[in-house]
Structure 1
Amino acid sequence: MLFSSDRMSPAEIYHTLTQVIIPRPIAWVLSPNDADFSSLNLAPFSFFNAVCNDPPILMLSMGQKSDGTLKDSCRNLLERKRCVIHVGAEDQAQAVSDTARELPFGESELALAGYELVDFADTGMKRIQGVPIAMACRLYQHMEVGNKPQNLLLVEVEQVWVDDRACYTDAKGRVRVDAELVRPLARLGGSEYASFGEVFRIERR
């Protein structure tokens, strides 16, 4: 089957892209609603990936709310410049999905997720307890792309926290993260998610 984007509506293109660009990692983004970080927003985004290692830059792409205003995560990043991006595990899929709901600004999704927060050492931020990976980030660059437009946010990673149970030291003395122990959740199309499957290695020839 052939899909031609010039003959498709934006909704049809979105529907197609999210079904063929699979699986996608999910950024579970915790961001401050206010200056003293007393109120926090939590939301998942699967238009997300790493784009640079020097400096370490991640990409988040966000649309608007149904009323055309900025999503709370975008608004918070533009105003407060900080966020913590979590990589959730497959057994946290329901909580990740629940926090995708569109709530009034200032109403926290943390209650929906049912998770507690703990201090993120040396960052002045909080992270979600029980989530295997968390990255403290600072806004690096913001740009608008597309016709709506879409908000493209580049954030610089300042600290990475990984659950000790998912880390090991290899034969060369390097710290490695065991993906099978992280069991990362992945996004597919529609309401579909993917759990972690078999890990296999391909040797270089």
Structure 2
Amino acid sequence: MFYDARKNDHGFQYDPFKAIVAPRPIGWISSVSAQGRVNLAPYSYFNAFAQAPHYVAFGSGPRKDSMRNIEETGAFAVNLATWELREQMNATSAHVEADEFELAKLTKAPCRLIAPPRVAESPACLECRLHLIVPLPDDDGNADDFLVIGRVLGIHIDDRFIHDGRVDTAAMKPIARLGYSEYATVSEVWRMRRPD
């Protein structure tokens, strides 16, 4: 099968794009507004894009509370979404006018270099400073989707998941988004060395 992605004429009930670009890490973004209102929301269009220095980015469409907060304050935290926190992560995806930390019964922990809090229960967190927001226009030049790029300033790792000088990713059981309402869990890893 082939279909024109510009027309999105695949004929399925749901767009298969997300099922193909998978698994996608979940950027569980915590932010705070200029007025001090905290927000926590998961974004499945998320990934890391550079290692020295570290940059991460997430896609927001349309402009949501997280993005508005980040525009106002210039900072956000990315909390690792895990198997143990899957229900809480899902609860924070609701469109509500409430403190998502309280809604999901999560603990706010202070970050060291930025104002937004992090999820204390999460085994890892990236403290980020806003680098750039890039509009992603449609064929008519209208942008209702945006790429939010952040420079990682600080990293928190729960010591329980550090073994022999390495982070034990599988032990943290991070979750990732697939297509539709499907997720995946990292529970086993394998190694393969580059040939050079």
Same structural fold, with TM-score higher than 0.5 when normalized by the shorter chain: yes
Show the counterpart of 1:187: 177
Q: Does 1:83 align with 2:87?
A: no
Give the whole-Å Cα distance in 2 for the aligned partners of 1:154 and 1:29. Answer: 12
Task: With the length of structure 2 as denominator, give the TM-score of the two structures.
Answer: 0.88
Give the whole-Å Cα distance in 2 for the aligned partners of 1:125 and 1:24. Answer: 24
Determine what percentage of the aligned residue pairs are the same residue. Answer: 29
Q: State the 1:4 CA deviation.
A: 2.3
Show the counterpart of 1:172: none
Show the counterpart of 2:15: 15
Q: State the 1:9 CA deviation.
A: 5.9
Choose the corresponding residue for 1:135, options 126, 132, 139. Answer: 126
State how 1:89-100 maps to structure 2 within 5 Å: 89-100=82-93
SS of the residue 2:156 aligns to: strand
Alignment CA distance shift 1:112-1:83 (3 Å): same
User: Which amino acid in structure 1 is aligned with residue 5 of structure 2?
Assistant: S
Q: Does 1:72 align with 2:65?
A: yes
Query: Whose helix fraction is larger, Structure 1's or Structure 2's?
Result: 1
Which has the larger displacement, 124-133 or 75-84?
Answer: 124-133
Extract unaligned runs of 5+ from structure 1.
Answer: 65-69, 170-174
Choose the corresponding residue for 2:40, options 39, 42, 64. Answer: 42
User: Which amino acid in structure 1 is aligned with residue 163 of structure 2?
Assistant: Y
SS of the residue 1:120 aligns to: coil
State how 1:100-111 maps to structure 2 within 5 Å: 100-104=93-97, 107-111=98-102
Which has the larger displacement, 139-148 or 21-30?
Answer: 139-148
Show the counterpart of 2:32: 32
Q: State the 1:130 CA deviation.
A: 1.1
Alignment CA distance shift 1:182-1:21 (3 Å): same
SS of the residue 1:7 aligns to: coil
Q: State the 1:146 CA deviation.
A: 2.3
Task: With the length of structure 1 as denominator, give the TM-score of the two structures.
Answer: 0.84
Extract unaligned runs of 5+ from structure 2.
Answer: none
Q: Contact 1:123/1:159 (CA < 8 Å) preserved in 2?
A: no
SS of the residue 2:15 aligns to: helix
Alignment CA distance shift 1:123-1:74 (3 Å): closer
User: Which amino acid in structure 2 is aligned with residue 120 of structure 1?
Assistant: C
Q: Contact 2:82/2:122 (CA < 8 Å) preserved in 1?
A: yes
Q: Does 1:151 align with 2:151?
A: no
User: Which amino acid in structure 2 is aligned with residue 152 of structure 1?
Assistant: L
SS of the residue 2:130 aligns to: strand
Alignment CA distance shift 1:82-1:16 (3 Å): same
Alignment CA distance shift 1:146-1:44 (3 Å): same
- Render the CA deviation track for 1:17-47: whole Å, top value 9, x for unaligned: 1111111100000000234x3x200000011
CA RMSD of aligned residues (A): 2.3
Give the whole-Å Cα distance in 2 for the aligned partners of 1:100 and 1:73. Answer: 11
User: Which amino acid in structure 1 is aligned with residue 50 of structure 2?
Assistant: C
Choose the corresponding residue for 1:56, options 54, 78, 103. Answer: 54
User: Which amino acid in structure 1 is aligned with residue 30 of structure 2?
Assistant: L
